[in-house]
Amino acid sequence: MRVGVFLFDGVDLLDAGGPYEVFLTASRLAARDGLAAPFEVITVSRTGEPVVAYGGLGLAPQAGIADCGPLDVLIVPGTIDVDAATGDDDLVAAIDHLAAASGLTASVCTGAFLLAAAGLLDGREWTTHWEDVDLLARRLGADRAVRGVRWVDADDVVTAAGLSSGIAMALHLVDRLAGRELAERTARQIDDDWHPDGVAAHHAGLS
Amino acid sequence: MRVGVFLFDGVDLLDAGGPYEVFLTASRLAARDGLAAPFEVITVSRTGEPVVAYGGLGLAPQAGIADCGPLDVLIVPGTIDVDAATGDDDLVAAIDHLAAASGLTASVCTGAFLLAAAGLLDGREWTTHWEDVDLLARRLGADRAVRGVRWVDADDVVTAAGLSSGIAMALHLVDRLAGRELAERTARQIDDDWHPDGVAAHHAGLS
């Protein structure tokens, strides 16, 4: 399966880097056992040109939307400046384009606002960063927000809560797409205290 | 305080991206409250030229060791191909150079092997990824490894366990350098289930 991590100016490095590392690690562990690597990870920006992450680090993706090829999983990370991202029509159109050709689209943190802007949350349950759930619920009109969880799996659209929750959500996708055993080994390999049920006990009551 | 995140070919994105995001977030939260931002984060490669992270993503750092200026905290992430990194004399010399001019040097995951190669673990307690602790202990001759923890704080040298533990270690540094309250707010902001005592219950018995 081909996993594309979408990058854009202002992207949060941890939102992108968590799932990137999870899928790479799952494939490395499978390959170590002589099995076929379940995931190929590719980073994609709209044009294929470098972008600048929040904080100033430059990121040079491996492809643009025109040449990244078909994706099975599209990861859309979040950003601090949500209005700049959702107000960028070319950016939203790029996500819409990639999502339409992907089997599964998953956001991390405020990446849910980009999915919403592309119409991908309509009629589905979703989550986002605890600080922003109410804002996005108002924006969407109908509140199908789920609070106090690490991620919401609405079949072909999966949304994660804040930053570190993207790691937990990616482990869930490994579980769903390649099995529980590999997901648990991947969690152990990246030293993450992953719970397959996705409950985020530590921020219950905050969101 | 100036925090430098060191980048090199093969660097693990999550090892680098976790602390990068933690220090940026802590500063943003402080600035929101009208306080001085406690941390400035800068990414640094040996030459200042771009590097390629494990998995193929290009990273364009903000400075090289010649022009990054003095650092208060140096973060050394890990890599899968430890032998390639520790066998690169220029890379080890760059870390030695930066560490000598920094008040505090902290590794994530197999970054501890780079600190060891630069002589920074001699006579100190340390940790690394649970899978590699025994190897590094043999390499160092005297086993001052600490197992089953998220990080080891040996004053001017701090070492973290595997990948995600770099996030926990960075939160500990926020705690140590800017206070417990900001560390706890930062953990909540990045949706991380941080424990100030650094015990990694989930991998006790594995390492």
pLDDT single digits (tens) B48-83: 999 999 999 999 999 999 999 999 999 999 999 999
Here the ipTM equals: 0.95
For domain A2-203, the CATH superfamily is Class I glutamine amidotransferase (GATase) domain (3.40.50.880)
Nearest chain B residue to A129 by CA distance is B191
Query: In a 10 Å sphere around its CB, with 0-12 CB exposed, 13-18 middle and 19+ buried, how is residue B97 labelled?
Result: middle
Question: pLDDT at position A205, please?
Answer: 37
Question: pLDDT at position A200, please?
Answer: 63
Query: In a 10 Å sphere around its CB, with 0-12 CB exposed, 13-18 middle and 19+ buried, how is residue A201 labelled?
Result: exposed
Question: pLDDT at position B205, please?
Answer: 37
> Distance, in angstroms, between A2 CA and closest chain B CA?
13
Read off the pLDDT band of A141 (50, 70, 90): confident
- A chain contacts of residue B130, beta-carbon cutoff 8 Å: 191
pLDDT at A202 over 80: no
Please give the Cα distance from B26 to B33 (Å, whole number): 11
Q: What DSSP element (H or E) covers A53?
A: none
Q: What's the token pair of residue A121?
A: 């949350």
Summarised one tens digit per residue, pLDDT across range A118-138 is: 999 999 999 999 999 999 999
Question: pLDDT at position B200, please?
Answer: 63
Q: What is the value of pTM for the model shown?
A: 0.95
CATH says B2-201 is which class? Answer: alpha beta
> Distance, in angstroms, between A162 CA and closest chain B CA?
5
Contact B191 A41 (CB under 8 A): no
Q: What is the mean pLDDT of residues A64-73?
A: 97
Question: pLDDT at position A143, please?
Answer: 75
pLDDT at A203 over 80: no
- Return the DSSP state at A98: H
Question: pLDDT at position B143, please?
Answer: 75
Q: What is the mean pLDDT of residues A64-77?
A: 97
Please give the Cα distance from A40 to B87 (Å, whole number): 28
Nearest chain A residue to B24 by CA distance is A55
Contact B58 A54 (CB under 8 A): no
pLDDT at A199 over 90: no
Q: Where are the beta strands (DSSP E) in chain B?
A: 2-7, 40-45, 51-52, 58-60, 63-64, 73-76, 104-107, 151-154, 157-160
Q: Report the first-to-last Cα separation within chain A, whole angstroms.
A: 34
Of the candidates B50, B57, B48, B47, the residue with the CA atom closest to the CA atom of residue B12: B57
Query: For chain A, which residues make up each domain, given as ranges?
Result: 2-203
Contact B163 A28 (CB under 8 A): no
Tokens 């030293």 belong to residue: A191
